[in-house]
Chains A and B, each alone.
Chain A
Amino acid sequence: MKKTRLIDAEGFRRTINRLAHEVVERHTGAEGVAIVGIRTRGEYVAQRLAKIVEEISARKVPVGILDITLYRDDLRGRLDQPQLKSTNILFDVTGKVIVLVDDVLFTGRTIRAALNALTDLGRPALIELLVLIDRGHRELPIKADFIGKSVPTSLKQQIKVMMSETDGEDGVYLADPDEDGKEVSA
């Protein structure tokens, strides 16, 4: 398996920094903005992002965590059941500008599920999507409003986002499958 590093720890920091500035720029001082991360890594991106948004806007930004398991379209017929975790959004989403955060945007199915999960909690004024990596291959009409890096990939390749909270380091890797065509283990 060949692994190429796309973003190193410093690049990771800079990317989230830039995204935070973009959010504050678009919503003049982050007024009414709340950030919601999709479990697992979207949660950590959201927390880091919120910290920077708060610093530059000098405004408290509520952060929530969304678990989309119950809204997945592939729940049935899976051999292993995904572990259900809790959604933890302690503020009312109604009327808020929600910046939905995930690490990788791929088919768009996760985001579809997240939109349903989020709108079941209330009626946000606006929902925007922020992703660290957009790797293409959408299967639904979904696009991101804030993108860390667009990476053209083939379907066989894998994007691996590593974050110090779970993986011991910050970085993004592009993994090619083995030459004998074997799938890369995640």
Chain B
Amino acid sequence: MKLKSRHLLGLEGMTKEELRLILDTAVSFREILDRPIKKVPPLQGKTVVNLFFESSTRTRISFELAERRLSADVVSFSTAASSVSKGETLKDTARNIEAMKIDMVVIRHAAPGSAHFLSRVVDANVINAGDGGHEHPTQGLLDMYTLREKFGSLEGLRVCIVGDITHSRVARSNIYGLTTMGAKVSVCGPETLIPREIERLGVKVYHHLEDVIPEVDVLNVLRIQLERQKSGLFPSLREYHRFFGVTKEKVSRAPKPITIMHPGPINRDVELSADLADGEHSVILQQVTNGVAVRMAVLYLLGT
């Protein structure tokens, strides 16, 4: 079986079979990460360019490691040190880089749809590493992988995504992927940070953590972006923490332990208390490890 598209732009519209193919392939790559020599040759001779127009540590390092472990040649680029600061357009930047004969592009950009746009103007395979508030498909996949690893199956698994849903690409990719795989997905956050009509994506909406905690197996806690406070979407970090901060005291009311996820970077003791982030039911570091395996799977499936 092969993926239908040459690109990975989002999890929206992908079939159960395609998602399963990526997750199954990632299992094989996960094993490679535990070897003494963590390198295999399938992308030998292929050149991958990482175009990061937005700052990122985790995702970028994760992609770079994944590419190198598949033996690809890797060029990474970030906005600060590039011609973008001289006013070059995305299209020009991309076409110029492609003129240097590259095979794959990984792009992170603040504009939703930038990965789609890029896939129309270049011949290389395009992988979306986050386009504004739209999608972050590899994050969605690594979250799904981590949950499947822990629970065995995603079918019927009850996952609640907590926080700023409106501006979150992680939330969207998780919703598309998890609902396709048969999980029961809900979202929880202040009314100002939950898009209207999000129920249409097949999720349940909560506005009180107390209501959702007894109903779920997993809380995927999103980073609250401090700049949202300035735009008046919530009054203060203290108030956000009081109502939507996930704490040991709040999750202790669940009938059984709740698995804690976070896409990082964490604002400790704002959206998630430090003791939970480091606690025994946290899978946050597994998410990071699995991210490399999942990205290797995507690169391998698109690049060979």
Contact = CB atoms under 8 A, between A and B. Distances in A.
A71 B28 CA distance: 13
Interface string B27-42: 1110110011101111
A76 B304 contact: yes
A40 interface: no
Contacts of A103: none
B300 interface: yes
Nearest to A85: B28
A93 to B, nearest CB: 10
Interface residues of B, number: 19
B4 interface: no
B43 to A, nearest CB: 9
B28 A84 contact: yes
Contact of A121 (B28, B37, B301): B37
A131 to B, nearest CB: 24
A71 B40 contact: yes
Interface in A106-124: 116, 120-122
A81 B299 CA distance: 13
A81 B28 contact: no
Given A70-B42, A75-B304, A81-B304, 14 more contacts: A67-B28, A71-B40, A79-B2, A80-B1, A81-B2, A81-B301, A83-B1, A83-B24, A84-B28, A85-B28, A86-B28, A87-B31, A120-B35, A120-B39
21 contacts: A69-B28, A70-B42, A71-B41, A75-B42, A75-B304, A76-B304, A80-B1, A81-B1, A81-B2, A81-B301, A81-B304, A83-B24, A84-B24, A84-B25, A85-B28, A86-B28, A87-B28, A116-B41, A120-B39, A122-B36, A122-B37
B206 to A, nearest CB: 39
Contacts of B35: 120-121
Given A120-B40, A122-B36, A80 B304 contact: no
Contacts of A70: 40-42, 300
B125 to A, nearest CB: 13
Please classify the interface of chain A as helix (H, G, I), strand (E, B), loop, or mixed, using the class held by over half of its residues: loop
Nearest to A113: B41
A165 B301 CA distance: 29
A122 B36 CA distance: 8
Given A80-B2, A121-B35, A86 B41 contact: no
A82 to B, nearest CB: 10
B227 to A, nearest CB: 41
Contacts of B31: 86-88
A121 B35 CA distance: 7
Interface string A116-145: 100011100000000000000000000000
Most buried by A among B29, B31, B304: B304
